[in-house]
């Protein structure tokens, strides 16, 4: 029976196949799966952060195992309210730290020690590779689909079960084919692509389905673009988003492989899966990348998308450039290119948040942080911070913010009467300079 890329990865993990593959060989055959089937699948990685992991840790003991299933296949990343914003945040991180030490968990990332926002950090550390099955107690775990992995968000109880048993249950998703054609113009990025798609199909247009991206346009997208697109698959209701594994993917995996040339339990060899030519899809959406232009999502849904040139006179109080969606080095470079030699408008606060410590250091070495500071921005250590209304940029009543984050729900960044407008780093930077929603074009 024909299967999609996602279904093939799930089938291999039900059968236990793929885990013993070496090098870059094609993954072994596995039993066929149909959309809607319930399965129990083996896990390659289980992820938690300082909001969700403490709950999972409290539940862990109820599963009857004294130790996690694999000390190298659990990752704990304090990133949401870190550096600790208050006593409660400190207690949450203390619980994670104690559990990591007690269990001997290898992949615990403390603040300042090669740390970062989880969905930027894990690929950077080489903890996810093509063909993996990853669950994380955070909805944007779908980010790793950019690497050709099946990754999806779960609740804290499922995270606890995954840490204990190394397995999880899933309903096999149906799929939507997203065919990308052509090449985007300058200032059009992965953020514009995914916002355009969400605007087209809606926030529930892919509910519990796999968004499978393919077509000749994929080659024109950088890995950072693909991470951004996969990250926001959940904003269309998708179970996961996934890209084909090409030479660019394999080059990224090679460049971020931990342990040198030897694969360990943490650094698994990539396993390449591809959808069958006659795989079944619920629908096909075609996007001409060359026809896209910078867009912005108006409050209070990621689907309320319109071209920046049609935004009108929307004056803003704050800009946030960062997050697991757009805090990578290419995002920093684009924002700095727009801002270089210019200054943030009076009355606007611009907060720049490199997504990891390594990105922060690279931005510093390239002079990007100097550009931001000279332009009137403030640069934050890696944190989710304002994205979820945590800290480092909370909005007051009536304030408006252009953000490169992934959600703009009511009260997402602060007061319920504040507003968040989602955009790319280029649009966010141009808006900071203009004091209103603006295009870099």
Give residue 113's pLDDT. 81
Q: How confident is the model at residue 427 (pLDDT cuts 50, 70, 90)?
A: very high
| Type and span of the H or E element at 241 | strand 240-242
Q: In this structure, which long-range contacts are made by residues 32-35, counting pairs with CB atoms below 8 Å and at least 24 apart in sequence?
A: 32/1, 32/3, 32/7, 33/3, 33/7, 33/172, 34/1, 34/172, 35/7, 35/172, 35/173, 35/174, 35/175, 35/280
Q: How confident is the model at residue 31 (pLDDT cuts 50, 70, 90)?
A: confident
Q: CB-side exposure of 382: number of CA atoms within 13 Å?
A: 31
| Type and span of the H or E element at 75 | strand 74-77
pLDDT(123) > 90: yes
Mean pLDDT computed over 157-182: 96
Give residue-wise pLDDT tens across range 241-297: 999 999 999 999 999 987 644 445 556 889 999 999 999 999 999 999 999 999 999
Give residue 111's pLDDT. 86
Dihedral, CA atoms, 383, 388, 392, 398, nearest 10 degrees? Answer: 160
pLDDT(18) > 80: no
Mean pLDDT computed over 353-374: 97
Q: Note the pTM of the prediction, 2 decimals.
A: 0.93
Mean pLDDT computed over 185-203: 97
Residue-range domains of the chain with CATH: 5-288 (3.30.499.10), 295-434 (3.30.499.10)
Give residue 263's pLDDT. 45
Contact indicator for 401, 320 with CB cutoff of 8 Å? yes
């Amino acid at each position: 029976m024909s299967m999609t890329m996602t279904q093939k990865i799930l089938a291999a993990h039900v059968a236990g196949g793929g885990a013993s593959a070496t090098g870059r060989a094609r993954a072994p055959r596995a039993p066929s799966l149909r959309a809607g089937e319930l399965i129990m699948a083996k896990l390659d990685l289980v992820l938690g952060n300082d909001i969700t992991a403490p709950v999972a840790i409290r539940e862990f003991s109820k599963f009857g195992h004294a130790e996690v299933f694999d000390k190298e296949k659990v990752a704990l990343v304090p990133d949401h309210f870190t550096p600790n914003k208050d006593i409660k945040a400190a207690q949450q991180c203390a619980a994670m730290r104690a559990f990591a030490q007690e269990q001997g968990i290898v992949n615990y990332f403390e603040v300042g020690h090669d740390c970062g926002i989880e969905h930027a950090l894990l690929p950077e550390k080489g903890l996810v590779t093509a063909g993996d099955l990853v669950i994380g107690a955070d909805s944007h775990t779908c980010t790793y689909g950019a690497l050709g992995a099946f990754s999806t968000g779960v609740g804290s109880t499922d995270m606890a079960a995954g840490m204990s048993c190394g397995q999880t249950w899933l309903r096999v998703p149906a799929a939507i084919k997203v065919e990308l054609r052509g090449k985007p113009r300058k200032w059009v990025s992965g953020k514009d692509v995914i916002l355009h798609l969400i605007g087209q199909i809606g926030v529930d247009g892919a509910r519990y389905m796999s968004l499978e991206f393919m077509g000749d346009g994929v080659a024109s997208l950088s890995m950072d673009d693909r991470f951004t697109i996969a990250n926001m698959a959940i904003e269309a209701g998708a179970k996961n988003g996934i890209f084909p594994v090409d030479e660019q993917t394999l080059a990224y995996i090679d460049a971020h492989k931990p342990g040198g040339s030897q694969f360990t339990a943490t650094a698994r060899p990539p396993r390449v899966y591809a959808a069958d030519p006659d795989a079944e899809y619920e629908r096909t959406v075609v996007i001409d990348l060359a026809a896209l232009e910078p867009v912005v999502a108006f409050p209070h849904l990621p689907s309320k998308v319109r071209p920046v040139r049609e935004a009108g006179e929307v004056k803003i109080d704050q800009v946030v450039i960062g997050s697991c969606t757009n805090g990578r080095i290419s995002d920093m470079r684009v924002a700095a290119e727009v801002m270089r030699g210019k200054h943030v408008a009076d009355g606007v606060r611009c907060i720049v948040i490199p997504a990891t410590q390594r990105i922060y250091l690279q931005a510093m070495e390239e002079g990007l942080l100097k550009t931001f500071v000279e332009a009137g921005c403030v640069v934050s250590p890696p944190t989710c911070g304002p994205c979820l209304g945590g800290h480092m940029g909370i909005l007051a009543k009536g304030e408006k913010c252009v953000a490169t984050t992934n959600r703009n729900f009511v009260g997402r960044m602060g007061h319920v009467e504040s507003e968040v407008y989602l955009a790319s780093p280029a649009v966010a930077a141009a808006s900071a300079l203009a004091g209103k929603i603006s295009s870099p074009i």
